[in-house]
Amino acid sequence: MPRISRWLVALAALAVLGVFVFPLWRVTLEAPQYPEGIGMLIHVNGVTGVNEHDLDNINGLNHYIGMHRIEPDAIPELRVMPWIAGAIVLTGLLVAWRGTRGVYIGWATVVLSTLAVGVYDFWKWEYDYGHNLNPDAAIRIPGLTYQPPLFGSKQILNFVANSYPDTGGWMLIVAGAVFGLVLLHVLLARRPGAPAAAPRRPTLVTTAAMVVTSLLLMSCTRPGPRPLVTGTDECAQCRMMITDPRFGGEVITRTGKVQVFDAIECLAGYVSASDSATVREVWVSDFEHPGTWLPAATARFVRGATIGSPMGRSLLALAPSVPADVAVQRYGGQASDWAAIVRASTTGDSATPAGHAHAH
């Protein structure tokens, strides 16, 4: 094997040590009754709550829908995974040291197959939890089945479940990608007419860098706003049920939690009272296209419109492509912008238009 391939394998094997330090996976639940969210962390040898009582709270919620309790001691994989991870590290370093092509092909095939089985086992674990619900539970899930997300977000009743790799998981994914890339490189090197070893090295390094960079970018992917669930979602500010998504808003915090609001004035009040360091994104619903989210900072606002809003301020948001005079012509009132709306909320007059914050 080329020296660069052996170094990549050795470094990737060492990266697997990260699973002993950082969690593999993070599953969080968001709901109006848990404005800060609750969640659990899956480690290589256990399952813990993100916060002290989160796992107990999750088990309590599972009880209501008839889902089994999550008992780390009853999950045999948690006793096996540390040994598998340790074996990957040690044998990976040995394979890199020996640099034998045939040995690496066999080793990488076993390791990648093991990782694939691990992903399937996680999916099956979630499947069993979501498809063996107690029919006598206090709350019945439609169809009596629920498949928790393996990667991404999913709505269940008034909860949004988020499931993403944590730091240890991403380190393992990057290591697996490197193992697979080197395996592909070694296999292709045997083909007739393949380029000489020296010119191939930059290709391998470049491709590896692209794969690792892509994975790192994926790890940084942030969830955006989610659809409002009328009749179920509760405003994070006034605690009223959301009934008209045309006036809704959302805040995404630095930790990725999504807070929903039934009216723009509630959204503005929440933002003005929050530490700016905790708010990452602010979105408002496009009044003319419910379900379409607009960044609040660029949206066109109309206050005092002829159309009543849920909190009575008659505040609505439109796409920035709608000229101010056209917006006023359509809905009456006065055009405004997000900065003015937030400033006015601190004075108790969230309907004050831009440039008129102190006129009332």
DSSP state string for 51-107 = STTHHHHHHHHHHHTTPPP--GGG-THHHHHHHHHHHHHHHHHHHHHH--HHHHHHH
pLDDT (0 to 100) of residue 256? 73
Write out the two tokens for 34.
């848990």
Whole-number Å distance between alpha carbons of 101 and 97: 12
Amino acid at 43: H
Cα gap 105→101, rounded to integer Å: 6
How far is it, in rounded angstroms, from Cα 1 to Cα 188? Answer: 12
Start-end of H helices in the chain: 3-15, 54-64, 77-98, 101-130, 167-188, 197-219, 264-273, 324-331, 338-346
Burial (CB count within 10 angstroms: exposed 0-12, middle 13-18, buried 19+), residue 3: exposed
Predicted pLDDT at 42: 93
Reported confidence tier of residue 193, pLDDT bands at 50, 70, 90: low
pLDDT given at position 81: 93
Q: Per-residue confidence at 82, pLDDT binned at 50, 70, 90? A: very high
CA distances from 268 to 12, 196, 236, 261 (A): 47, 63, 12, 10
Pair 16, 83: CB distance under 8 Å: no
Q: Are 182 and 4 in contact (CB under 8 A)?
A: no
What confidence score (pLDDT) does residue 208 get?
59
Q: Is 280 helix (H, G, I), strand (E, B) or coil?
A: strand
Mean of pLDDT over the chain: 81
Q: Which residue has the higher pLDDT, 70 or 133?
A: 70
267-325 residue pLDDT tens: 998 888 887 777 888 999 999 888 888 999 989 999 887 887 787 778 899 998 888 89
Please say if the pLDDT value at position 245 is more than 90: no
pLDDT band at 17 (very low <50, low <70, confident <90, very high): very high
Query: Is 50 exceeded by the pLDDT of residue 352?
Result: no
pLDDT (average), residues 70-96: 90
Residue 181 has pLDDT above 50, yes or no: yes
pLDDT, tens only, 248-268: 999 888 777 788 899 999 999
In DSSP notation, 101-125 reads: HHHHHHHHHHHHHHHHHHHHHHHHH
Q: What is the pLDDT of residues 40-61, one digit of tens each?
A: 999 999 999 888 888 888 888 8
Q: What is the pLDDT at residue 68? A: 81
With a cut of 60, say whether residue 357 has pLDDT above it: no
Look at 49-58, 73-82, 134-143, 348-357 and tell me which has the smallest mean pLDDT: 348-357
Percent of the chain whose pLDDT exceeds 70: 83
- Residue 163, token pair as written in the block: 């499931």
- Cα torsion through 229, 251, 329, 325, rounded to 10: -160
User: Comparing C-alpha atoms, which of 59, 355, 57, 28 is closest to residue 223?
Assistant: 28
Global confidence as pTM? 0.56
Residue 232 vs residue 169, higher pLDDT: 169
Give the pLDDT confidence of 116-155 residue by residue, as tens digits: 999 888 888 888 877 777 777 777 666 667 777 888 777 7
Beta carbons within 8 Å of 306's beta carbon, 6+ residues apart: 314, 331, 332, 333
What's the mean pLDDT in 219-245? 78
Average pLDDT over residues 224-230: 82
